[in-house]
Structures are given as structure tokens and as C-alpha cells.
Amino acid sequence: MKRRILIADDEINIRNGLAAAVESEGYEAVTAENGLSAWNLIQTQGADLLITDLRMPLMTGSELLEKVYASYPTLPVVVLTGHGSIEDAVKAMQNGAVDFLTKPVNLDHLFVLIKKTLRGRDIEEKNLELQRELDSLKKKSTYSSIIGKSKKVQDLLETISQVAATKASVLITGESGVGKELVADAIVNFSDRKDKPFVKVHCAALNSNLLESELFGHVKGAFTGAVADKKGRFEQADGGTIFLDEIGEIDKSTQIKLLRVLQEHEFEKVGGEKTIKTDVRVIAATNRDLEQEIKNGNFREDLYYRLNVVNLKVPPLRDRKEDIFLLATHFLNQFCEENNKKIEGFSNNALSAVNNYDWPGNIRELRNCIESAVVMCRGTVIDINDLPPAVSRAANAGDIVIPLGSTMDEAEKKIILGTLNYCKGNKSKTADVLKLGRKTVLRKLAEYEQ
């Protein structure tokens, strides 16, 4: 859709001249001969950019600016000033104009200014659209805080809702930081054990003796320090669900006890003789390859099959790139609120970096990245410089960006260095891609080094 530019000036020649110029650049032009008629047009037709003269009958540009700023704060306004009235321009900028142009208008300046201003508007709209998408996604997902529109995540949610109703054990697998714990939460929320106890045990955090007593409890005197009877986590979870995180880390003797709980639904406390019956649904998670651990003799095969009745694989973030912007926007909202900051969204460059980066630490890494960006950010938009270096380096990995106003030499340098980077420093390949002689490339590179 064409962007609409509203031009308000009482001099017909300027008005029509500017309208013809912007139309020749592919925009839609609408004109007004004074501030009042411009104000009516904004209210009835809307505009993406307002270019206005200051001295006009009926309503001056300053009055118009004031009204626009109060009612349409996101509509960018550029003011036109006559020669020698720079104070007016400065005043207009203080009142919210994004820039000014002096008459007679230099058309090249005008076009650069329009592009720059509308780019800001594109960013704004893109971020607004992300917010809207995020809101509607959140409305739909009552039982889970898993965010994602990718087919992979939607399929995962579908499976979660199917398995939630059963009592079957679930093994959640996936790389670190993909959201395994969130999946466990969602299973419980979807299930009819939702209001029953939900106990989480981080198996890697405890050594094997402690883990055994943590899971199954102990009786007084079972070991030094066991001064009283203690209920284990399985007993606490009775009637509900237990989440065994990092299940791949538990040792062989605990594995045997766990197998018995899964098979017979019973266990004894450490040092105890009484058999305790339990009704607990087990959800386990690991980022290890348990089949490999079985081959290496570290994990019991029978336990594996008991745990793995249902297997939920949570895909890494790099395999569901469609979710990245939504997640980034979600974390942006969260950390803005926590830090009492007002940031509207991301610049195009920042989005491109976030999109190109590989996210080896998955969603946890993305979350940390956005948290630090929010803290670093001084403006109203997260820019590429606010991102951690590893991420910002990924910007434009597939693009060469040549800013408006660059000279041919600067553009050429960007193209050659960008391609060299893309070819991982291989100069012959760079010459091939650019269809240049190798010697030319070498000469240019030597020039850039000076």
C-alpha cells in the first residue's frame, strides 16, 4: 500500500510542486491550503507523514503541530520554514516535529528525509503488529505460557493437551533452554491433577545420597544428621505430579528405586521398613541422549522405557525461527515492566540480528539477551548496539546494508567487505561471487587497509 503524505502550505506552487515530487517517488500526496483543512484531512483520511508550512491562515503550522502531537502522537511531522526563520524550526522541533526543511526545498533532502521518517513508522507498525499477534496468542492459550506460532510449537501444544488427560509418564527431551520445564508446567495445567500437588526436583543439584532421601524421605537415625523422620518428595506429591528435571544425572541405585515406584507404585523411606503406596504421575526431563547413556551403561534401559511412555521433543529455537520475534517481544514487555522502562520495540537491524543468530542457548539465551538489551537501551527502540556482541554480529549476515547518503566508493567498500565476510575471508571466492578479477579484489582490500 502506498504511504500517504499530507502537504500543507498556503502557497499553491509549493503545495503542488511538492505533491508532484513525492508522487514521482511512489507516494500518495494529499494537499491542504491551511492548517485547518490539513487537520480535517488527518481526521477523516489519516496520513503517514505530515509536511507543513508554519505561517498559514486559519490555523498556523504551530497550532496544527500542537493538535497533531496531542491526538496523533505517532504521526511524524516535518515543518517547512522560510529562509532565516530557523528559530521557528527549532521551536517546532521542541514541540514534537521530527525534522524541518528550509525553503526552497531541496528535493534530494526531502526524499531522504521522507524515507528516514517513514522507516521509523515501518518499525513502529511492525512492532505494533507483533504486540497484537502476541496478545491474541496469549488469549488463546489459557493453560500454558508457552509462546510460539510455529507449526512445531503448535503441534507440541496439541500433543500436550492430548497426553495431559492420561496418567502416562512423560519424558521431555531437548537442548538446554528450549523450555522443557514450561512444557511440564503445561502438562500439569491441562490435566485433571491441576489442583493437586505439583513437586519439582532438580536431580542434578543433589548428590546421590541426598537425592535418594529427598525423593523418598528418611526415618530418624537413618544416617548422621537424620534427626527426625522426613517426608520425601514422592510422598508430598501423592495424588498429583512429580517433575524430575535432569533425570539423566541420577545414579544407578536411585534408578532402581525409581523403577520400582514406576512399576509397583511403592517405595520405602531411606532407613525405613514400611512400604509406602503412592499415586504420582511422573514427568521427567533431560537434555542428554538417554539412548546413548544406556549404551554407555549409565542409564537403565527398563527405567528408560517406563519413563518414556510418551516422549515430547522440544525443538531448538533455530528450528522454529518464526517464533523468535514473538518471544523477543514477549520478553521485551516483561523486562520493560520489571525495569520500569518504556521501549516500543526493535529497530530493523536489531530484528535482523536476532533473527540471524543461531541461539545455541535457545530461549533462555534469548531471554537473557533481551533483558540486557532493555537495561542497555537509552532510547525508545532497542537498536543493534544494545544487543550483546555475539548477537549483533549476526546482523545482516545475509544482507549488505548501504545507508542512504553513501557515496559510490563507500557502497563498493561495503559490498566487497560484506561479500568477503560471507565467503569467510576467502578472497578468490569473493572475486568469483562479485564477478571481479582476483587482482582487483586484492587491490581494493589493500586500499581499505590504509
Ligand X SMILES: Nc1ncnc2c1ncn2[C@@H]1O[C@H](COP(=O)(O)OP(=O)(O)OP(=O)(O)O)[C@@H](O)[C@H]1O
Q: Please report whether residue 377 would count as binding ligand X according to CB under 6 A.
A: no
Q: DSSP letter for 354, please.
A: H
174 binds, among ligand X, Mg ion, none (CB under 5 to 8 A by kind): ligand X
Q: Please report whether residue 146 would count as binding ligand X according to CB under 6 A.
A: yes
Cα separation, 332 vs 334, whole angstroms: 5
Binding mask 126-165 for Mg ion (x = CB under 5 A): ----------------------------------------
Q: Please report whether residue 61 would count as binding ligand X according to CB under 6 A.
A: no
Of 194 and 202, nearer to Mg ion (C-beta) is 202
277, burial (CB in 10 Å: exposed 0-12, middle 13-18, buried 19+) = exposed
148 binds, among ligand X, Mg ion, none (CB under 5 to 8 A by kind): ligand X
Pick from 181, 251, 293, 412: which binds ligand X (CB under 6 A)? 181
CB-based contacts of 357, cutoff 8 Å, min separation 6: 390, 391, 394
User: Residue 312 Cβ, how far from ligand X at the closest point, in Å?
Assistant: 11
Pick from 3, 67, 152, 367: which binds ligand X (CB under 6 A)? 367
Decide: helix, strand or coil at residue 195: coil
Cα separation, 78 vs 2, whole angstroms: 19
Nearest to 401 by CA among 421, 386, 426, 381: 421
Give Cα separations from 260 to 264, 265, 300 (angstroms).
Answer: 5, 7, 12
Give Cα separations from 307 to 74, 81, 183, 259 (angstroms).
Answer: 54, 74, 16, 9
Torsion sign, CA atoms 323, 325, 326, 332:
positive
* φ and ψ at residue 251, rounded to 5 degrees: -85, 175
DSSP 355-371: HHS--TTHHHHHHHHHH
Give Cα separations from 110 to 47, 79, 140 (angstroms).
Answer: 17, 11, 45
User: Residue 200 Cβ, how far from ligand X at the closest point, in Å?
Assistant: 11
Q: Binding segment for ligand X among 51-59, 143-151, 205-213, 295-303 (CB under 6 A)? A: 143-151
Site for ligand X in 312-351 (CB under 6 A): 327
177 binds, among ligand X, Mg ion, none (CB under 5 to 8 A by kind): ligand X
Of 33 and 371, nearer to ligand X (C-beta) is 371
Pick from 61, 148, 248, 316: which binds ligand X (CB under 6 A)? 148
Q: Please report whether residue 181 would count as binding Mg ion according to CB under 5 A.
A: yes
Pick from 95, 287, 298, 396: which binds ligand X (CB under 6 A)? 287
Q: Please report whether residue 180 would count as binding ligand X according to CB under 6 A.
A: yes
Positions touching Mg ion (CB under 5 A) are: 181
Positions touching ligand X (CB under 6 A) are: 145-148, 174, 176-182, 287, 327, 363-364, 367
